[in-house]
A and B are shown apart, each in its own frame.
Chain A
Amino acid sequence: MEHTVKVANPIKPKQYKSAIKPVWCPGCGHYAVLNAITKALAQLALANEQVALLSGIGCSSRVPAYTSVYGFHGIHGRALALASGLKAARPELTVLVAGGDGDGLSIGGNHFIHACRRNMDMTYIIMDNEVYGMTKGQASPTTAPDWTKSKLTPHGTGLRPFQPAALALAAGASFIARGFSGDPNGLARMLVAAIEHKGFSVVQALSPCPTFRPEHMDWKHQIRAFEHDSTGDAILAAQRIQADDGQSTGIIYQRELPVWQPITRNSGSIDQFEQEFCV
């Protein structure tokens, strides 16, 4: 990946923020994820116009408008497809994608596994609050089976939640990390590594929703770093993910895998194609 370095002076994260005030509730974890994103961009000193941040729909997906890079607030679940098209057409751009656990793992689940498999060079931030915030508190694919607070699932979902890291690993992602909005500096460091990684990097950012999952404000007492450094061994990574309760943070898996980008060249002309029709 090529990063255009713009100026020599240290760049402030503020340079990547827009003047638009977020719609998020007070205390929402998404503020810190936004800060981590702008910190990472500042650390990498990327030129604003060379970065695109694309998203779907959800509280989390509002994030592009709060930055001052090129943004696209698309439709629910399709941000990865939007980004894959952009990256295919404009490989020199730094492409970031952000959205919620519902956006990425429920309605957008198919795009998620295929983006992992395709391994294009971009970074995907899943802002995981284990709930649908925007639609006022329904269960998401990462919600615990016995969470009964949604009127839609009064008995809880009764379903085992997805473990995003396990899903990403199985689908072929080449970089998998888990961070926490309660540690924005750590999350920013992870995002720097993810952006620098060549290939599809998945960063699950645990980001509590105080409005619909107030109990998650306890995450700050529960979440801790993984004991291990990252591995490039998929079996080991799978073991660590499965052995964990989903609340350990760090870069879990990182491996150089073939990065996909469509093959293209300049070797033909339309006139020549038209000749093929002549009889």
Chain B
Amino acid sequence: MPSTQRQDLSIAITGSGGAGVVSAGTLLLDMAAELGHYGLMRKAYGPQIRGGESAALLRLSTRPVHCMDDGFDLLLALDWQNTDRFAAEIPLSADSLIIADPAAGEIPAAISQSGAQIEPLPLKALAGETEGGRANMVALGLLARWLGFDHSAAQALIGAAYAGKGETIVSNSLASFERGFDTVLKHPPAQVLSTGGSAAPRWQLSGNEGCGLGALRGGVRFAAAYPITPASEMLEWLAPRLEQLGGSLLQAEDELASINMVIGASYGGVPAMTATSGPGLALMLEGFGLAIASETPVVVVNVMRGGPSTGIPTKSEQTDLNIALYGMHGDAPHLVLAALDTADCVFCTEWAVRLSEALQAAAIVLSDQGLAQSRALIDQPERRALQIPPRSLATDDGPYLRYALTEDGVSPMAIPGLENGMYTADGLEHAQSGKPSSAAADHSAQLDKRQRKLENHDYGADWAETSGGGDTAIITWGSSTGAAREARQRLAEAGHEVRLISMRLLLPASVEAMNKALEGVGRIVVVEQSHSQQFYHYLRAYYDLDVAIEVLARPGPLPITPGEIVNRILQQG
């Protein structure tokens, strides 16, 4: 069968945990990078710590990709252990191909009912032909061949990837890779990836690493945190690096401690952050309120997972929006930002840190499991010089008023060690000096000041990413941006121009900018991954949206796909 050239290929590699599907997927991404392609690998795994099921869901493309496609071209199953648990995450059709080991038993009905073509392949037996052979490397060889990767380049990558594990592992892996590479399929896949990618320098990173890097770029030098899925890898990435930058990460006894430790360090003059997920954020909020009242800059990166309660810890959902926006007691102005894609994890977190330092504000950055734990192959992100001043510090002269009522609401902060700056930071309402006060005048003056410093700041064009035109607008936020961008592009290619507004800054609300972005719009489609339409209600609460609004909202764990959005837009004339 002659194969057709495609701009995109979606491949799922599944197997029981420990079968090495994620290692194979990561190597495949590396190979794609060498060919000048882009890619995204989402990891799907079950609740088991070791063992259980796992899947590497890959999308390789000649163009930058920020979401999964609507379906998969190929499912390569090393075994079928519990595969039905995430069958829904691997949509297949009659055009798809399944490569599976007959020795692994019958194909589960949830998979075979797709009508996909099946190519039985004795992966285990092929691996068994060489000493210490591994089925995941056989699979990798097979895929490398199909995707047109150079044999020796692939070998070099495997050698480098396993160098740390010793020579035997490298040679065993290479032998299995050869077996796969030399295998001739009865039904070769009908599609191949177009050749001739771009030579622009690429990064391969996860959203968690991106947030970590953004925090360091922003100046964070102290972190305190309590482990939680899916934020832990950010902490693991940060710990050794903070240490090398003269800072540190402290593993706290719980999230109540983390947030307070971070406030303590920041009070000491060291920009500080913590990272967590929904349950941890819930525990942190009293402390977050203290940061707001005492005007101590802190950043909390919250990596959303399915909720409420322990929910679905290993899967993505955009449902901590309400708690981030409204979780505070009292009138508590703060910043809420959301990363739009992997590269934006870097920018958004850096922006949050710089804003929080400059405005002496508390910031929540929302990421999610999909962003955080996916590995993306992207263009090296540009490094913008942000025009945001550093934290305003008190100097030695004159009597010092920590919470002085300044015009912009930001009062210079004395850092312990400054000779005449002694004051007591307080979560109790206070007068300008910091002295506790329950006087109506002090309360309203300090409330005004804390609100003014956030609302008067010029956030520029970064409040959202806007593109396209026409009188229909998609409004989305955070990680749903990937699918929305692609939907907009597909619609444009089909002659339907729509606008896309992807919000990065949620609090304070950018009412004027939103009004401008919506000029001439007669129909709005809100896109979000939440059962209760949290984002839609947020838009209703803060913006003047007096046109027809439709909502495409559904819960996790399945990611929103571009096709879904396109269908919704086209549904109405």
Binding site for B on A (CB under 8 A): 18, 20, 47-50, 52, 54, 62, 64-65, 68-75, 77-78, 81-90, 93, 110-111, 114, 262-270, 273-274, 277-279
B31 and chain A: residue at smallest CB distance? A279
- Known interface pairs A85-B264, A279-B30. Does A75 touch B435 (Cβ–Cβ under 8 Å)? no
Q: Report the minimal beta-carbon distance from B293 to chain A, rounded to whole angstroms.
A: 9
Distance in angstroms between the alpha carbons of A274 and B378 in the assembled complex: 13
B181-223 to A contact mask, C-beta < 8 Å, 1/0: 0000000000000000000011111000100010011000110
Query: Across the interface, do B209 and A277 meet the contact criterion of CB distance under 8 Å?
Result: yes
Q: Does B163 contact A (CB under 8 A)?
A: no
Query: Across the interface, do A86 and B257 meet the contact criterion of CB distance under 8 Å?
Result: no
Distance in angstroms between the alpha carbons of A107 and B246 in the assembled complex: 33
Distance in angstroms between the alpha carbons of A273 and B245 in the assembled complex: 11
Q: Does B243 contact A (CB under 8 A)?
A: yes
**Can you identify 17 A-B contacts, CB atoms within 8 angstroms?**
A49-B417, A50-B417, A62-B436, A65-B436, A72-B425, A73-B425, A74-B294, A78-B257, A81-B257, A84-B264, A88-B250, A88-B264, A268-B245, A274-B203, A277-B203, A278-B201, A279-B204
Query: Across the interface, do A74 and B203 meet the contact criterion of CB distance under 8 Å?
Result: no
Distance in angstroms between the alpha carbons of A83 and B262 in the assembled complex: 10
A55 and chain B: residue at smallest CB distance? B424
Chain A contact residues, majority secondary structure: mixed
Q: Does B77 contact A (CB under 8 A)?
A: no
**4 additional A-B residue pairs with CB within 8 Å, beyond A20-B435, A277-B213:** A75-B286, A75-B427, A90-B265, A270-B245
Residues from chain A with Cβ under 8 Å of B266 in the complex? 85, 89
Residues from chain B with Cβ under 8 Å of A48 in the complex? 422
B247-262 to A contact mask, C-beta < 8 Å, 1/0: 1111011101110111
Q: Report the minimal beta-carbon distance from B283 to chain A, rounded to whole angstroms.
A: 11
Query: Across the interface, do A278 and B203 meet the contact criterion of CB distance under 8 Å?
Result: yes
Query: Across the interface, do A265 and B287 meet the contact criterion of CB distance under 8 Å?
Result: no
Query: Across the interface, do A74 and B222 meet the contact criterion of CB distance under 8 Å?
Result: no
Distance in angstroms between the alpha carbons of A110 and B248 in the assembled complex: 22
Residues from chain A with Cβ under 8 Å of B289 in the complex? 75
Q: Does B463 contact A (CB under 8 A)?
A: no
Query: Across the interface, do A85 and B269 meet the contact criterion of CB distance under 8 Å?
Result: no
- Known interface pairs A72-B424, A75-B290, A263-B243. Does A49 touch B250 (Cβ–Cβ under 8 Å)? no
Residues from chain A with Cβ under 8 Å of B287 in the complex? 75, 78
A107 and chain B: residue at smallest CB distance? B256
- Known interface pairs A82-B263, A89-B270. Does A262 touch B250 (Cβ–Cβ under 8 Å)? yes
Chain B contact residues, majority secondary structure: mixed
Residues from chain A with Cβ under 8 Å of B269 in the complex? 89-90
Residues from chain A with Cβ under 8 Å of B254 in the complex? 110
Return the contact of A73 from the options B202, B216, B414, B428 (Cβ within 8 A). B428
Residues from chain A with Cβ under 8 Å of B252 in the complex? 81
Query: Across the interface, do A114 and B268 meet the contact criterion of CB distance under 8 Å?
Result: no
Residues from chain B with Cβ under 8 Å of A89 in the complex? 221-222, 247-248, 264-266, 268-270, 272
B460-497 to A contact mask, C-beta < 8 Å, 1/0: 00000000000000000000000000000000000000
Distance in angstroms between the alpha carbons of A48 and B419 in the assembled complex: 8
Distance in angstroms between the alpha carbons of A172 and B252 in the assembled complex: 17
Residues from chain B with Cβ under 8 Å of A269 in the complex? 245
Q: Which 5 A-B pairs have the closest CB atoms?
A: A85-B264, A268-B244, A85-B261, A71-B424, A262-B248
Q: Report the minimal beta-carbon distance from A46 to chain B, rounded to whole angstroms.
A: 12
B222 and chain A: residue at smallest CB distance? A89
Query: Across the interface, do B422 and A88 meet the contact criterion of CB distance under 8 Å?
Result: no
Q: Does B557 contact A (CB under 8 A)?
A: no
Of A62, A265, A267, A277, most B-chain CB atoms within 10 Å: A277
Residues from chain A with Cβ under 8 Å of B419 in the complex? 47, 49
Query: Across the interface, do A72 and B246 meet the contact criterion of CB distance under 8 Å?
Result: no
Residues from chain B with Cβ under 8 Å of A47 in the complex? 419
Distance in angstroms between the alpha carbons of A71 and B257 in the assembled complex: 18
- Known interface pairs A265-B243, A268-B245, A278-B203. Does A49 touch B286 (Cβ–Cβ under 8 Å)? no
Q: Report the minimal beta-carbon distance from A120 to chain B, rounded to whole angstroms.
A: 10
Residues from chain B with Cβ under 8 Å of A78 in the complex? 256-257, 260, 287, 290
Residues from chain A with Cβ under 8 Å of B242 in the complex? 264
Q: Does B44 contact A (CB under 8 A)?
A: no
Distance in angstroms between the alpha carbons of A218 and B300 in the assembled complex: 49
Q: Does B556 contact A (CB under 8 A)?
A: no
Query: Across the interface, do B246 and A70 meet the contact criterion of CB distance under 8 Å?
Result: no
Distance in angstroms between the alpha carbons of A279 and B265 in the assembled complex: 35
Query: Across the interface, do B250 and A64 meet the contact criterion of CB distance under 8 Å?
Result: no
